[in-house]
């Protein structure tokens, strides 16, 4: 229950006007809605190379990913994306465009992935959530060691529009729901 909820007994039921079970306070009627988590991240480039981070945390510790993580409360998506790049790769980035919006229903995630370039003084290093970070040419990407399907999607989608200034954001590839690790 959230801090706004009553202190009375809680039950799982379908509130009036709703179509699914929720946690409801029997004393005050407060409904505790549980909603998907929002993940923000970026495909960061420097020249023709792409920044990847080797995860230092579970899930998928030791596998490579793009800098990404959960959006914090009261944080806008682009600020969260920049924060994640700083946390995972100590990298300052400049966001160019929204690359993709992926929906991973199995784990209740919506992923907003941006296209970005390395900015500032160009420095980068492993942050606390990364074992190492490196820039990879397209043919050097460790494809079999990527952490999640959406990392594959984002890299391929980025590759598809790398030379385009304007494009529509991508969604999950056809027949892909992101249900597999």
pLDDT in tens, 140-150: 999 999 999 99
User: Which two structure tokens, joined as six digits, stand for 177?
Assistant: 């729901």
Domain range for 111: 37-161
pLDDT tens readout for residues 97-139? 999 999 999 999 999 999 999 999 999 999 999 999 999 999 9
Q: Look at residue 120 and tell me if it is in a domain.
A: yes
Cα 94 to Cα 35: distance, rounded to the nearest angstrom: 29
Q: Note the pLDDT of residue 177.
A: 61
Q: What's the CATH number where 41 sits? A: 3.90.79.10
pLDDT-derived band at 2 (thresholds 50, 70, 90) equals very low
Q: Select from 81, 111, 102 the least CA-distant residue to 93.
A: 81
Q: Look at residue 32 and tell me if it is in a domain.
A: no
pLDDT tens readout for residues 37-77? 999 999 999 999 999 999 999 999 999 999 999 999 999 99
* Residue 101, C-beta contacts closer than 8 angstroms, at least 6 positions apart: 110, 111, 112, 113, 169, 170, 171
Q: Look at residue 180 and tell me if it is in a domain.
A: no
Cα 45 to Cα 47: distance, rounded to the nearest angstrom: 6
Count of domains observed in the chain: 1
Mode of pairing for the β-strands spanning 37-46 and 109-118: parallel
- Asked if residues 138 and 67 have their Cβ atoms less than 8 Å apart, the reply is no
Q: Look at residue 26 and tell me if it is in a domain.
A: no
Q: Which residues lie across from 152 on neighbouring strands?
A: none
Q: Select from 93, 97, 100 the least CA-distant residue to 46.
A: 93
Q: Look at residue 18 and tell me if it is in a domain.
A: no
Q: Look at residue 70 and tell me if it is in a domain.
A: yes
pLDDT tens readout for residues 152-173? 999 999 999 999 999 999 999 9
């Amino acid at each position: 229950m959230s801090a706004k909820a009553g202190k009375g007994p809680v039950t799982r039921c379908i509130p009036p006007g709703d179509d699914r079970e929720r946690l409801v306070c029997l004393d005050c009627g407060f409904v505790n809605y549980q909603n998907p988590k929002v993940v923000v991240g970026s495909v960061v480039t420097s020249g023709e190379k792409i920044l990847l981070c080797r995860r230092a945390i579970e899930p998928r510790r030791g596998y490579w990913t793009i800098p990404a993580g959960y959006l914090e409360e009261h944080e806008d998506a682009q600020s969260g994306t920049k924060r994640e790049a700083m946390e995972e790769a100590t990298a300052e980035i400049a966001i160019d465009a929204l690359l993709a919006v992926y929906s991973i229903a199995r784990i209740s995630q919506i992923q907003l992935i941006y296209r970005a370039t390395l900015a500032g003084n160009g420095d980068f290093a492993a942050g606390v959530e990364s074992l190492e970070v490196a820039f990879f040419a397209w043919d050097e990407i460790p494809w079999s060691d990527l952490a999640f399907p959406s990392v594959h999607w984002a890299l391929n989608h980025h590759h598809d529009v790398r030379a385009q200034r304007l494009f529509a954001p991508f969604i999950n590839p056809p027949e892909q729901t992101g249900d597999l690790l």
